[in-house]
Every structure is written in C-alpha cells, then in structure tokens.
C-alpha cells in the first residue's frame, strides 16, 4: 500500500516551561550577593524529544495521563505554541478546537465572531457569506447569534466554535478534550461530522480521556508519558498500555 502524503511532521521536539517558585527574601538576597549565579527558577520538560509523522487521512489519538503533554503537543501542531527545539510542520488548512472560547472576542456577537473566527481560520468573506446559515444551523445557537458571546455558556461557545471550524473543511483537524462540554446529542453530531471528515480523506488528531469514544474514531494511538512518546501503534495497544493491561 502506498502511503498518502504527509499531513503533520513532528521531529525531535522539545518544550520546556519555567516553574516559578516563591523565594524568600533571604534566598533572593543570597542569590544577588553571589553574583546572580544559578537560576532562581526551575525548568520543567513538558515534551521530551518526540518525533512522529501523520499521513493524510489518518485519525490519531494523542493519549496519556493528566499532565503528560498532550495539549502542549496539540498546541504546537496548531501553531499557537512554538517548540524550544525540533520541528513541527503541517500541510494544508489547519483548524483546531483547543480551548473553549479561544479565538472568540467576548464583546462581539456570535455573528461577528463567526466572521472573525472564520477569517482567522483562513476563510474568505464570500466563503463565509455562503456558509453562514449552515454554520448557525449546525450550532443550533438560534436567536442567540446576535448576543455578545461573553454571555454564552461554555457549551454554546463550543457549539459555535465547532460549527465554524468544521465548515472550514480543514485538511488537518485538531480536537482537544473540549467536546466534553457539549451535551450528548451535540457530541454525537460532532462525532458524526468528524467521521465524515475522515472518510473524505482529511486528517484528525484528537486528545481525549474518553478512551472508548476515541477508539471508535481513531485507528492509531500515540501514548505520552511524562512528555515522552512510549507507544505509537494501534489505538487499542496504546489504550491497553495506558490502562496498564499489557
């Protein structure tokens, strides 16, 4: 079988965060008189030398316990965060649902945010005019479309954000846990839409703790432990390892 072209490349990626500690006056003073030697802050490696490729049409689950680095990895793939070293590259239009409400301006109405968010995701004004009604219909926001989004519930944010993102027909679709804030019928509708996208040859990377749901839509699983890739194989193997069943 010939592989489809690459959609995502992650090569030797590392991401450190600075852990800030509260220091006593005495510690800070000693640090100053010792000529500021050493570092008052401590570094923490959230992603440690991770590499993988994702080909067009693959549906990949990024799995791991809390704090293992899944969201950090997804943010780097989406481009909202840069790695400290290594390379992350994507091909085509990328749309992500990573944080509820991210990319929305709270003082604008749902309607204005559809245009703002759609433009950020690379849609043209005429494409947005054409798809606006379908976006609102999918979101089921109804009469609240002209309400400022600061008055939306987290589920309403998700509905509108998902509706805009999916209507950009992204080549690479990134979804973090946030589907969980939607009610069950809406979650089902999103899952069906995601399945349609994959069937049409688009690429998906999803982060979720709902392992059975993830196993339904993804074939491949990448398991992270303390920022390191420990499994890259079938989603069932990755889930078994995560559950300590292998």
Ligand X SMILES: Nc1ncnc2c1ncn2[C@@H]1O[C@H](COP(=O)(O)OP(=O)(O)OP(=O)(O)O)[C@@H](O)[C@H]1O
Is residue 46 within the footprint of ligand X (CB under 6 A)? yes
Which segment (49-57, 68-76, 114-122, 133-141) binds ligand X by CB under 6 A? 68-76
Q: Which pair of tokens denotes residue 141?
A: 């926001």
8, 50, 70, 168: which one binds ligand X (CB under 6 A): 70
Is residue 115 within the footprint of ligand X (CB under 6 A)? no
50, 58, 72, 136: which one binds ligand X (CB under 6 A): 72
Is residue 229 within the footprint of ligand X (CB under 6 A)? no
Is residue 83 within the footprint of ligand X (CB under 6 A)? no
Which segment (2-10, 63-71, 115-123, 231-239) binds ligand X by CB under 6 A? 63-71
Q: How far is the CB of 52 from ligand X (least distance, A)?
A: 16
Q: Which is nearer to ligand X, 32 or 40 (CB)?
A: 40
Q: Say how far apart CA 219 and CA 236 lie, in whole Å.
A: 8
Q: Which is nearer to ligand X, 64 or 101 (CB)?
A: 64
Which segment (66-74, 95-103, 147-155, 210-218) binds ligand X by CB under 6 A? 66-74
Q: CA nearest 83: which of 42, 120, 43, 46? A: 46
69, 103, 110, 118: which one binds ligand X (CB under 6 A): 69
Cβ(136)–Cβ(113) below 8 Å = no
For residue 171, give every residue at least 6 positions away whose Cβ sits within 8 Å of its Cβ, in sequence order, or none. Answer: 7, 56, 91, 92, 93, 94, 202, 203
Q: How far is the CB of 49 from ligand X (least distance, A)?
A: 15
87: left (phi over 0), alpha (psi -120 to 50) or beta: beta
Which segment (62-70, 97-105, 191-199, 215-223) binds ligand X by CB under 6 A? 62-70
Q: Say how far apart CA 131 and CA 137 lie, in whole Å.
A: 10
Angstrom CA distances, 221 to 12, 74, 193, 197, 215, stand at 19, 14, 20, 18, 9
50, 58, 68, 110: which one binds ligand X (CB under 6 A): 68
For residue 125, give every residue at least 6 positions away whose Cβ sits within 8 Å of its Cβ, in sequence order, or none. Answer: 115, 119
Is residue 67 within the footprint of ligand X (CB under 6 A)? yes
Q: Which pair of tokens denotes residue 244?
A: 């300590």
**Site of interaction with ligand X (CB under 6 A):** 17, 46, 64, 66-72
């Amino acid at each position: 079988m010939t592989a489809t072209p690459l959609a995502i490349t992650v090569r030797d990626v590392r991401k450190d965060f600075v852990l800030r500690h509260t220091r006593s006056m005495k510690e800070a003073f000693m640090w100053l008189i010792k000529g500021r030697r050493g570092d008052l802050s401590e570094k923490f490696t959230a992603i440690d030398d991770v590499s993988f490729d994702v080909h067009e049409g693959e549906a990949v689950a990024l799995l791991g316990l809390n704090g293992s680095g899944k969201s950090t990895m997804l943010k780097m793939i989406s481009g909202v965060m840069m790695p400290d070293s290594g390379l992350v590259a994507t091909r085509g239009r990328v749309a992500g649902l990573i944080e509820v409400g991210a990319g929305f301006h709270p003082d604008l109405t749902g309607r204005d945010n559809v245009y703002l968010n759609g433009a950020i995701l690379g849609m043209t004004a005429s494409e947005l005019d054409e798809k606006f009604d379908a976006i609102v219909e999918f979101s089921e926001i109804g009469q609240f479309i002209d309400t400022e989004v600061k008055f939306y519930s987290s589920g309403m944010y998700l509905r509108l954000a998902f509706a805009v993102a999916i209507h950009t027909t992204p080549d690479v679709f990134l979804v973090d846990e946030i589907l969980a804030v939607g009610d069950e019928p809406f979650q089902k509708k999103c899952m069906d839409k995601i399945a349609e996208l994959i069937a049409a040859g688009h690429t998906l990377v999803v982060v979720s703790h709902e392992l059975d749901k993830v196993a339904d839509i993804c074939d491949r699983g990448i398991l992270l432990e303390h920022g390191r890739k420990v499994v890259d194989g079938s989603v069932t193997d990755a889930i078994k390892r995560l559950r300590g069943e292998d």
